[in-house]
Chain A
Amino acid sequence: MNRIAYINNQPHAFHEGETILKFVKRVTGQEKIIPTLCDAPNLDPFGSCRVCSVDVALEEGGKTKTMASCHSPVAAGQYIYPDSKQVKKLRKNIMELVLTDHPLDCLTCEVNGNCELQDVAAQVGIREVRYPEGKNHLDRTKDLSHPYMTSDMSKCINCYRCVRACDEVQGEFVLSMAGRGFDSHIVKGNDLTFMESDCVSCGACAQACPTSAISDVFQSKAVHTEETTRTICTYCGVGCNLEVNTANGEILSIQAPYDAQTNGGHTCLKGRYAFKFYNHPDRLRSPLIKRNGKFEEATWDEAYTHIENELNRIKAESGPDAIAGISSARTPNEENYLMQKFIRAVVGTNNIDCCARVCHSPTALGMQRAFGTGAATNSISDLEHTDCILVIGANPTDAHPVTGVKIKQKFMKGVTSIVIDPRRIELAKYATYHLQLRPGTNVAMLNMMLYYIISEGWVDDEFVANRTEGFEALKKEILALDMDEMERLTGVDRNLVKEATKAYAASKAAMEFHGLGVTEHSQGTFAIQLIADLVMITGNIGKPGAGMNPLRGQNNVQGAADMGAQPHQGAGYLDVTDPEMNHRYNTFYKREVPSHIGYKIPEMFDAAINGDLKALWIIGEDVVQTDPNTNKVIKAMESVDLLVVQELFMTETAMRATVVLPGASFLEKEGTFTNGERRIQRVNKVVEPLEGTKPDGQIIIDMMNRMGYEQPDYTAKGMLEEISQIVPFFAGVKWDELGQNGKQWPVKPNGEDTQMLHIEEFKNGKGQFAFYSFSESKELEKYSKDFPYIITTNRELEHYNCGAMTRRTGNVDILTEDVLLIHPDDATKEGIADGEFVCVESPRGKVDIKALVTDEMKPGILSSTFHFPEVMLNIITSDEHCSEAMCPEYKVVSCRLRKSKGKFKQMAEASTVVTN
């Protein structure tokens, strides 16, 4: 077909489906050539403001029709006149009407100078309002109820951008228009304040609003900004790009760039609003050395000397294996690389691990076993190409919010969707199938699914024959299983499982996501391998819209493992015990690196308690609050001679340190984070490190040099140069070439990156099938008789892990405490009312926590979080861990319940008085 249309009588080719607005913008290269008000980059065209109108004729100079360009597709042969006299007049007349109901006090308005209404008014050249004074909405009052979101509806022009952002981007439906005609007005919920509404503070509406009608407390649309720096969010593994506005070296606000591939103009409240921790008074500002049980401020030199002496002493007395390091998945790749290098090449031990241990170590191990690579096989953008989404043991709308809402958008639009989770999480409400299994029975569930695929003949035979090994053995084992037993174990109707499995197997491209609900189990690695079986048996890998995609928890947990912050593999996942690899490391580091595997985190704690480990260096991780069995972790912390903690805040772990070193936050340093889809993105320094603090990489480098290892001062560029020489899949990664959206590894030496893995063949040649049968967690075997409830831990949107950062932001006013989710039947049985304190006791200890009665849980199953030190939920979690990867079993904890006594009872009573 002839795809030519004319703009001011000049012919131009247009794209299929292109709107007139896009066409004219593209051809002229002028973003603002046609004014718009209701249009927004990340929203569907809506057609309410009509200021984008253009004249369109069917022949040159012919009779014209006025059309709104934002939602009218271009048609062949159209003669488009974007600035005819009539449309200019029309636009001006529309703007005049708008101004009849808009306050004329621009000079005092928050967004003066950066207001789309102002811009368009100026563009159309409006000078006066000729209408006599009439009805208006100028007397509407402001809503300042919320820690972040604000509104001043007298400034509203009814463009619906906020409503659409809340719907099309966030999928929360907090906002709507209400009333009709001239009376129509924006409401939050059923006419509530922001604070009373179900708003999740993502800020999408504030960013979308063209005026100051909806904004935020940081006034992020105001023009007081001097500089804008693009960087990457420090919280979760989605890796959202942020635009940080600063003036006078201070951070004013954060917005989301529309061109970011990870988040396209969106964030969650953590990325956009939870930044005020960075200069919080609680920030550590000086090194501290504990003397006689008390911290004393010290100079950097004193602290370094103290550490150096201690490390040398311990190394001399007990050997390098008496020293261990825990690197931080919150810090950039470069710093992780340095930490493991320090421990390996300078200290001389493989005792290095990171928090990947407690989250996705089974994923890395299991996927390596099956495919050869322990990372997401596809990209989040594959959601555009999928027709089935399977979410196992993950609650992404809370834990990976921006990816979570992308998944939710798909669920809402009716893509076949399956959720396997003990809890009726947000996504489960929208899913086609929810398999609400008993915690700890993932393996049984996956066995069932494999059983139906094989027994019903839903296997992708071609894929299995060409790309995999071990199918026959798997088949034999699977077909021998007893579905009655599996049904009983999982507690899920087999027909439902069968139906869901069929939907997964029958789809053209099915995409799998999983989270800690799979890994944090004694059979975590096995479950991962069974998921890999499921993916391979249906041929759902190596193609768009498919794959196996772990939702990596922390912002750089992928990177921390990539960089070798683990005891059995060095930088780039090379096996430390392999002589050839060992040789490579030795040559590269110019030091002898040991070739025996070091301690994993739980082993470090054991070694500390039994006296084998004397020194531990922890960067940015609060193991006391977040690792399981708190009392044991505390004991471990107290057992070592030297505990160095590099931190932003005085966490529960830092309190127990012998030396505390004040590190710098992500806003104060440069480097790269690797998100859950292997995307290496540039973290750019926004402000200088707070006085008294140092970037963590520089701290390590200082120590390396002091201990006789020459390492040049920290620059992200220099570090990447070094890393690219030892980490094979970083071969082509260069600081200056990462661009705005980063690159997905493996990056070839020529700089080409990789969106999808295993297209033609697996990293390890053929995909490996493996069978594992269900075995009950030892925790339940040992304790379920006396501790009949199962508690499973989870995360809340508002807080991040130990909450050291988020609790020092406005988030804490939104979610103020950890609570215990409990089914109404259980609550009745135990005589517990909503909001009352409950004492939850496990074989390890007990905690008191407020009950939230909800049918999100099944009877007998409880759930809670460990964001707040006031509760310290990990006091009750267990020591059990994945038999293969040593990932702790946070998800299955035996416990019993009773109403709290003493002070908690009083606290509950006091708080109900307040809320009443």
Chain B
Amino acid sequence: MSKNLSELSGRGGIVDNLFEKMGNAAEKSGTVSQEELDRLAKEFLVGKANTYGTVTAYDFMKPENKGKKAYICNGSACLCAGTQDKVMDSLSEHYKREEIGHMTCLGRCHENSAFHIGGVNYSGDASQKMSEIVSTQGALQPKDAYNVGSNKELLTEAFTDVDAYYSIIHDVLKRSPEEVLGEIKDSNIRGRGGAGFPMGVKWDFCRKAESDTKFIICNADEGDPGAYSDRYLLEERPHSVLFGMMVGGFCMGAQWGILYIRAEYPESVDIVNAAIQELRDRNLLGDNILGTGFNFDFKVIKAQGAYICGEETALINSIEGQRPEVRTRPPFPAIQGLFNKPTIVNNVETLAAVHWILDNGGSAYAALGTDKSTGTKLVCLDSFFNKPGMYEVEMGTSLRTVIDDFGGGFKEPVKAMHIGGPLGGMVPVSKIDDLAIDFESFSTNGFLLGHASVVCIPEKIEIIKYLEHLMEFAAYESCGKCFPCRLGTTRGQEMFAKAINDENYKIDRDLLNDLLDTLQEGSLCAHGGGIPLPVKNALHYFEDELSQYLA
């Protein structure tokens, strides 16, 4: 969070972007050459240490990534599904071990067996055609299929065509930003990225910040294993997202809408770029849009593999070509964000709701769902369900309805569900009937709605192993900035691993509790702060299973 680096990186604006240049430079060999790093350091005046420091923090740019040709998904859903050993075997027939890297969640949690070769994602039974995939390199692009359903279609509403969809933009741009923002506030919509912060309030902060340059960023770094609802929106409803950003830009006076899309979703990048082109073709972008004096354009930035970039300040650092580390707040991004300018970061799903809100009115939206959680929520179900898929449900819908009516129940015995990503709670099946899909229901029961992805933990998987996997993920994806998380996640992982592997070793309960409290209370961000929740849930609900490892 160097102010100097933010400013220097910002001199090229978002068009001449350091991070993008690094990403492009890494495209071929998997990492950026020393010469290129030094050249970029000179071009952007940021020093060699910084370009080096940055690339070493990303899975797809770091030197160790050099020569990687294929990536296998090691996300929680694929692991629980137990499909990846087989995928690895078939990958190994074509690649040396050192040519195979990891990607954490390709968003194929509904059919698993996920892997990535040459910029294309594969899953389901694709690994059976491995030879063909490898030999034709990209020619084969099988589309994955998942169920989509809803008990209240807002985000999943059928999309007709671009012109019809944008017809309301004329009216919107004729209204005053305050008025439009009023609708958003009326809707009471809360952020879907995890923190649940009211979108209208956030936009208002940024609107009031004085600056000739502002940004609105779409956080499309959906990193939570188990979640693919943002991917659904990016690929199936890209215009909902773009529309929301444009309106946001209008409300707060931002000239740029930036979509930060994870590299693990290559299709999303292409589809969004194509959608932007559709807008450009219709003169809906650029200066003085529709003669209203509103200037707005889009830029897609492809992420490079770091879960923490989903955290908004790390994401901002990332776009600046800085290390993806979490910033302290204040200053809040709405006041001082990208390139030190006022910036709004919103989740894909939050932004996608804007069209419906403006079409139907803020109060119509507020009337949906519960008092405090208005509207609808997308929920992703993994392959342990009979009908895996992505479902849009009105807030307040019972979890039982989601599991049974939409998901069609479990395929095989499941003991718990990890809901809301790695930092979400571990919900034992016994609690299903206590929960409904809304922020309050989950938090009062000691869980977290988060992004509402559901990863099932089957009976056959030991909880301790799942916890070890979770801690490994937390340690691997820790940005490393704050002491509790940098050190604590590793020590936690080591303790679980030792307990599994060394029968003479028992985890000291006090120490584990101290560690979890230290992470929870002491961490700078919700990564380190959030990881204790599922562990504590596990300790609470699976005491019988875990007690053998504890002392």
Contacts and interface: CB of A to CB of B under 8 A. Distances in A.
A48 B47 contact: no
A413 B45 CA distance: 13
A359 interface: no
A178 B31 CA distance: 14
B477 interface: yes
Interface stretch (A20-28, A96-104, A574-582, A780-788): A96-104
Interface string B118-130: 0000000000000
Contacts of A53: 521-522
Interface stretch (B164-172, B487-495, B539-547): B487-495
A177 B323 contact: yes
B482 A48 contact: yes
Is chain A's binding surface mostly helix, strand, loop or mixed? loop
A190 B478 contact: no
B503 to A, nearest CB: 14
B50 interface: yes
Contact of A178 (B57, B481, B505): B57
19 contacts: A47-B328, A51-B483, A68-B524, A90-B518, A93-B515, A97-B483, A131-B511, A158-B480, A158-B483, A167-B4, A167-B5, A176-B50, A180-B56, A180-B306, A181-B478, A190-B52, A198-B47, A413-B7, A430-B8
Contacts of A409: 4
Interface string A73-100: 1000000000000100110011001101
B454 interface: no
Interface in A441-462: none
A695 B49 CA distance: 46
A67 to B, nearest CB: 10
Is chain B's binding surface mostly helix, strand, loop or mixed? helix
A556 to B, nearest CB: 33
A183 interface: yes
Contacts of A41: none
A158 B485 CA distance: 12
A766 interface: no
B494 A97 contact: no
A164 B50 CA distance: 12
Interface in B307-325: 323-325
A188 B50 CA distance: 9
Interface in B9-68: 34, 37-38, 45-53, 56-57, 62
Contacts of A97: 483-484, 487-488, 491, 515, 518
A739 interface: no
B151 interface: no
Given A89-B517, A190-B38, 6 more contacts: A97-B487, A97-B491, A131-B511, A171-B4, A182-B478, A182-B490
Interface in A18-70: 37, 44-51, 53, 66, 68
Contacts of B53: 176-178, 187
Nearest to A93: B518
Contact of A414 (B7, B37, B324, B480): B7
With most chain B CB atoms within 10 A of its CB, the pick from A48, A164, A180, A181 is A180
A308 interface: no
Contact of A173 (B46, B57, B330, B482): B46
Contact of B524 (A48, A86, A135, A187): A48
5 tightest CB-CB pairs across the interface, nearest first? A173-B47, A176-B53, A184-B480, A176-B49, A190-B52
B376 interface: no
A730 B403 CA distance: 86
Interface in B505-531: 505, 508, 511, 514-515, 517-518, 521-524
A415 B10 CA distance: 14
A134 B490 contact: yes
A71 interface: yes
B480 A135 contact: no
Contact of A132 (B37, B498, B515): B498
A409 B5 CA distance: 11
Contacts of A68: 328, 524
B524 A188 contact: no
Given A48-B481, A158-B480, A413-B4, A188 B491 contact: no
A168 B522 contact: no
A172 interface: yes
Contacts of B443: none
Contacts of B34: 190
B143 interface: no
B521 A181 contact: no
Contacts of B478: 180-182
B517 A190 contact: no
B159 interface: no
B2 interface: yes
Contacts of A560: none
Contacts of A157: 483
A89 B516 CA distance: 13
Contact of B3 (A190, A198, A413): A413
Interface in B324-353: 324-325, 328, 330
A304 to B, nearest CB: 56
B479 interface: yes
A708 interface: no
Interface residues of A, number: 62
A190 B490 contact: no
B476 interface: yes
Interface of A: 37, 44-51, 53, 66, 68, 71, 73, 86, 89-90, 93-94, 97-98, 100-101, 130-132, 134-135, 157-158, 160, 164, 167-168, 171-184, 187-192, 197-198, 409, 412-414, 429-430
B482 A50 contact: yes
A160 B322 CA distance: 14
A181 B480 contact: yes
Nearest to A180: B57
A51 B521 CA distance: 11
A86 B521 contact: yes
A198 B511 contact: no
A187 B41 CA distance: 15
A132 B505 contact: yes
Contacts of A177: 53, 323, 325, 480
Nearest to A70: B328
Interface in B461-483: 475-483
A201 B383 CA distance: 58
Given A90-B522, A168-B2, A134 B476 contact: no
B524 A50 contact: yes
With most chain A CB atoms within 10 A of its CB, the pick from B487, B514, B524 is B487
Contacts of A160: 481
B315 to A, nearest CB: 15
A190 B328 contact: no
Given A98-B487, A190-B37, A183 B521 contact: no
B486 interface: yes
B48 A198 contact: yes
B488 to A, nearest CB: 6
Contacts of A179: 56-57, 62, 480
A66 B522 contact: yes
B522 A182 contact: no
Contact of B523 (A44, A50, A171, A181): A50
With most chain B CB atoms within 10 A of its CB, the pick from A37, A46, A174, A429 is A46
B8 A412 contact: yes
A198 B323 CA distance: 20
Contacts of A412: 4, 7-8, 45
With most chain B CB atoms within 10 A of its CB, the pick from A37, A135, A171, A197 is A135
B484 A189 contact: no
Nearest to B49: A176
B37 to A, nearest CB: 6
A267 B403 CA distance: 66
Given A100-B491, A189-B48, A181 B477 contact: yes
Nearest to B497: A134
A94 B480 CA distance: 14
Nearest to B529: A66
B4 to A, nearest CB: 5
Contacts of B38: 190
